A and B are shown apart, each in its own frame.
Chain A
Amino acid sequence: MSNRIDVKKTYKLYINGAFPRTESGRTYEIKSAKGVFVANPCLASRKDLRDAVVAARAAHSGWNKATAYNRGQILYRIAEMLEGRRAQFVDEIMQLTDVTKVKAEKEVTDSVDRLVWYAGWTDKIASLAGSTNPVAGPFYNFTIPESMGVVAAIAPETPSLFGFIDVVAPIITSGNTVVVLASTKAPLSAMTFAEVLATSDLPHGVVNILTGKKEEIAPWMASHMDIDALDISGLPAKQHGPIKVAGAENLKRIHSFKSADPGRIIAFMEAKTVWHPIGL
């Protein structure tokens, strides 16, 4: 029998490489699958989103300029760090979603594998999505895919870790920065994953994580003029319409996906065409 008092963990947001509480001071309660209280994560407000977008915008130029090789190394490093904390993720997945240990372990394994898979894509996507175009003149003509800038994303409710990584990894693979809203009911995986990111040499602000309510944050993501694209994979299909309308003002690219696909990387890239005279 130990007299030691429990050390309870405070789950906070992840913005610009730091772990701030929400500006609003609000929290909400999450319970385990069996209905037992687990934690009070932050209920992020639109101002947290605004701050996160500022951080993501500032981080974009550096992350975009990093070589594809370097981005791949960092994504691989994230996978390494995730592997090292496997047990904690398994515990948290089991705590919040009513799954067996075998299933939880498979989710973590899949998550690590998925990160490694995207790590491999960083230096290959340009040759897959780009092209050399024949033109009627003495020029080389190249189409080069580039990152868009700041992408916002809404992670699916479940699976809370795998779904989160499946949304975030393709966005940052090409050099975008991301502001992502984690699963509302099971945000622990995302917040613990923030600790993995913080120790993975990922530059501050490349990934920013909020926890809170989709219906509160999603419309602000859609209307924010400094967000270039939006992944609404985690939003129920019937809410897609109004979000797409709200995002039309700045011609935001809005996508949702059902499975892993190199197309997820390309969806958040835009093509640049370069002309170069032959013979120089």
Chain B
Amino acid sequence: MSFYGLVDGGDASLKSYLNNLSGVDQVGAEARAAMLATRSIKTSSKRWAIDTAITMVDLTTLEGADTPGKVKALCTKAVRPDPTDSTVPSVGAVCVYNDMVSVARTHLDLIGGQHVPVAAVSTAFPSGRASMVVKIQDTQDAIDAGAAEIDMVIDRGAFLAGRYIDVFNEIVQIRQVCGDKAHLKVIFETGELVTYDNVRKASFLAMAAGADFIKTSTGKVAPAATAPVVLVMLEAVRDFYEMTNARIGVKPAGGIRNTKDAIKQLVLVNETVGPDWLNPKLFRIGASALLNDLLMQRMKMDEGYYSSPQYVTMD
């Protein structure tokens, strides 16, 4: 493994790589995120943003109470979010627990949703508290069942204890399991990493270890995808691109519930890494309730009056 020539896979080189990172200006990051959140996106730009955001949604259900029926309904919605309007694009992916991957894949193929990938949350999601053998098996199961994207969680305990090499090796091993069959998204659970410096460190660690995407949160812990955290991760992606020419994707997840929030995320992307990242291959939004709000806003723009949750499907 080359690790982009940044580290050699040993503890010492990883430590020196991470220690050489510049720190994050907390006040500056929060101020910049707040400033970008005041941008107003209207009319045709808003229409474009809504459709783009729909293609970026990882439509998610991660509940203990998930049933095959619910997952199938979600898949149907993913392929054609508004049954009455065929101009609405399909979402970016369907995100489910491991045991629901085959249900989702089979149903998507059945209804003409071959273009919609299934993402699985693996490695003892959401806590990540399991042995490496179990995590690898977990990932392998998901890929065998047809998952094209793996959302893994890092071991936050190891990261906070300073055992960066353990976290690094974990990502490298899962990356190997994924091979060329699945995209790897690495979840940091930024709400548990406490500082922006840790978020930046985790971002560089994951990117060097071979992550295709870096993702903020599991959705099980608050705060999740706050604007400053996403900004810090996008800046890390931008700096990493300058160092290595590798384009790494970003996926905020958790707490993005309405169109306004989603458009704010797109503004952050455009202003930080540029319009190349305004693409579902490089930016995704993990959400469930968001899609309905996007559809209602889209109806409002088409029909000229405010819509109601009664006119979109229930989750």
Contact = CB atoms under 8 A, between A and B. Distances in A.
Interface in A245-261: 246, 249-250
A53 B300 CA distance: 15
Nearest to A225: B308
A225 B311 contact: yes
A48 to B, nearest CB: 12
Contacts of B310: 225-226
A220 B309 contact: no
B308 A249 contact: no
Contacts of B311: 225
A50 interface: yes
Interface in A3-59: 46, 50, 53, 57
Contacts of A50: 306
A57 B308 CA distance: 10
A109 interface: no
A44 B123 CA distance: 50
A83 to B, nearest CB: 38
Contacts of A225: 305-308, 310-311
A131 to B, nearest CB: 28
B308 A220 contact: no
Contacts of A46: 306
A253 to B, nearest CB: 15
B306 A53 contact: yes
B281 to A, nearest CB: 34
A226 B305 contact: no
A192 interface: no
Contacts, number: 26
B69 interface: no
A158 interface: no
A223 B310 CA distance: 15
A53 B309 CA distance: 12
**A-side binding surface: helix, strand, loop or mixed?**
helix
A50 B305 CA distance: 10
From B308, B310, B311, name the one whose CB has the most chain A CB atoms within 10 angstroms: B308
B285 to A, nearest CB: 21
Interface in B273-315: 304-311
A224 interface: yes
A220 B305 contact: yes
B308 A226 contact: yes
A20 to B, nearest CB: 16
A223 B308 CA distance: 11
From B304, B306, B311, name the one whose CB has the most chain A CB atoms within 10 angstroms: B306
A61 B305 CA distance: 24
Contacts of A246: 305
A223 B307 contact: no
A224 B311 CA distance: 12
Contacts of B304: 223
Nearest to B304: A223
Interface string A201-230: 000000000000000000010011110000
A249 B305 contact: yes
B308 A250 contact: yes
Nearest to A246: B305
Contacts of A223: 304-306
A46 B304 CA distance: 12
A223 B306 CA distance: 7
A246 B306 CA distance: 12
A224 B309 contact: no
A226 B296 CA distance: 11
A250 B304 CA distance: 14
A156 B309 CA distance: 30
B46 to A, nearest CB: 13
A217 to B, nearest CB: 12
Nearest to A46: B306
Contacts of B308: 224-226, 250
A126 to B, nearest CB: 25
Nearest to A226: B308
Interface of B: 304-311
Given A224-B306, A225-B307, A225-B311, 7 more contacts: A224-B305, A225-B305, A225-B308, A225-B310, A226-B307, A226-B308, A249-B305
9 contacts: A223-B305, A224-B306, A224-B308, A225-B306, A225-B308, A225-B310, A225-B311, A249-B305, A250-B308
